[in-house]
Amino acid sequence: MAQLKTTFAGIQLENPVIVSSSGLTDSAEKIKALEAAGAGAVVLKSVFEEQIGAESGHIQDSGLGADDYLQAYVRSHALNGHVSLVKEAKEGCSIPVIASINCYSDSEWVDFAGIMEEAGADALELNLLALQTSRNYEYGSFERRHVDILRHVKKVVRIPVIFKLGANLTNPVALADQLYANGAAGVVLFNRFFQPDIRTDSLTFAQTNVMSNPCELADRIRWTAIASAEVPQLDYAVSGGVHGGQGIVKSVLAGASAVEVCSVIYQRGNGVIGEMKEELSGWMDEHGYASLAEFKGKMNAWSTGDVNPFERTQFMKYYGSYGE
C-alpha cells in the first residue's frame, strides 16, 4: 500500500490533502470533521485586515477621548475569535493547523502573527491577494511588499511562514526565490480572485465562478513545475482546480509537496477527501511508487528536455491544425 506521508513547509503531514482557507475551516467542529474525513492539515479561514480594521475603525469620535481605547478593544475582541479558533482546533485535533492572514500592509500584522504563534498555530500562511490597478503603480512595488511583510513577520515568529500568492504576478519564480531568501518555508500557487460579472438584464453586478473549475489546475501546474525546478529549496502546494486524485498526482509530479483544496469539498462534501486519497494511492500502486518522494518533481521544468512546454505561450501550431 502506497505511503502518502509528505512534508510541507517543514511540517510532517500524514497525506498531502490540506483543506484550504475558507468557510470550511472556520470552526473547531468543522475542522474535527475534516480530520475524521482524512485531511492531512487545515488552513484556517483568513483573518482579513479590512475586516479587523472595519470592525474597530467604524467607532465614531465620542468626544470623550476614549475612542482609541474602544478601537483597541474592538480590534482585540475581533482577533480573540481567531485566537480561540486556533486554540480549539489544536485542542480537538491532531492534524497540523495553519493560521492565515490576508494582509496588504505590514504594520500590525506582525503583532498578530505573534499572537497566532502563541495560540499554538503550527504555521502561518500569509495571503496578499490584491489587484494592482493604480495608474501610478511603480513596477516591482507589489513584489517588494510581499518581501517586506515576510521580513517583518519573520522577526517575531519561529513557526514556518508560508506565502500564498495570487496568480497575477509577472514572475512568481523570482518572487519565490526572494521569499526563500527571506525565510519563507513554503509557497502556495495560487489563490483565486473574486470574479465579478455583469447581469445584462438588470445592469447590476454579480459574482461568478465562486467555486473553481478543474481547468484552473493547468496554470498552477505550469508555475509549480517551473518554480520547483528553479527554487527547489522551497516547498510548494498547489491550490486551484484540484478536484480529484489525478490533480494531486499532477501537482506532485510538477514538484508540489501538497495541495490546498476547497471547491470540490464544498461541492461534494468531506467524503471526497478519502476518494482523492484512494485515487492517489491507486495510481501510485499502479506505477510502482511506494512514496510521494519517489515521483515528486519528476515532471518539473528540468525534466522536459530541449522544448519546455511550461514556457510555451503561443498556440501557432495548434491554431494551424485545430479543427482539421
For ligand FMN, the binding residues (CB under 6 A) are 20-23, 45-46, 100, 102, 127, 164, 191-192, 210-212, 239-242, 260-264
Show Cβ contacts of residue 118 under 8 Å, excluding neighbours closer than 6 positions.
none
Closest approach of ligand FMN to the CB of residue 260, in Å: 6
Q: Which is nearer to ligand FMN, 45 or 277 (CB)?
A: 45
**Which of 223, 303, 288, 208 minimizes the C-alpha distance to 256?**
223
Give the cell for residue 98.
Answer: 495553519
Query: Considering beta carbons, is residue 44 or 289 the nearer one to ligand FMN?
Result: 44
Rounded least distance, CB 215 to ligand FMN, Å:
11
CA atoms within 13 A on the CB side of 36: 9
Query: Among residues 47 and 289, whose Cβ is nearest to ligand FMN?
Result: 47
CA angle 57, 84, 151 (to 5 degrees): 65
Separation between Cα atoms, residue 280 and residue 2, nearest integer Å? 9
Q: Closer to ligand FMN by CB, 2 or 189: give it.
A: 189
Minimum gap (Å) between residue 19 Cβ and ligand FMN: 9
Q: Say if residues 9 and 100 touch (Cβ distance below 8 Å).
A: no
Which DSSP string corresponds to 256-319? -SEEEE-HHHHHH-THHHHHHHHHHHHHHHHHT-SBGGGTTTTTSGGGSTTS-GGG----HHHH
**Identity of the residue, 106 or 289, whose beta carbon is nearer to ligand FMN in the bound complex:** 106
Smallest separation (angstroms) from ligand FMN to the CB of 240: 4
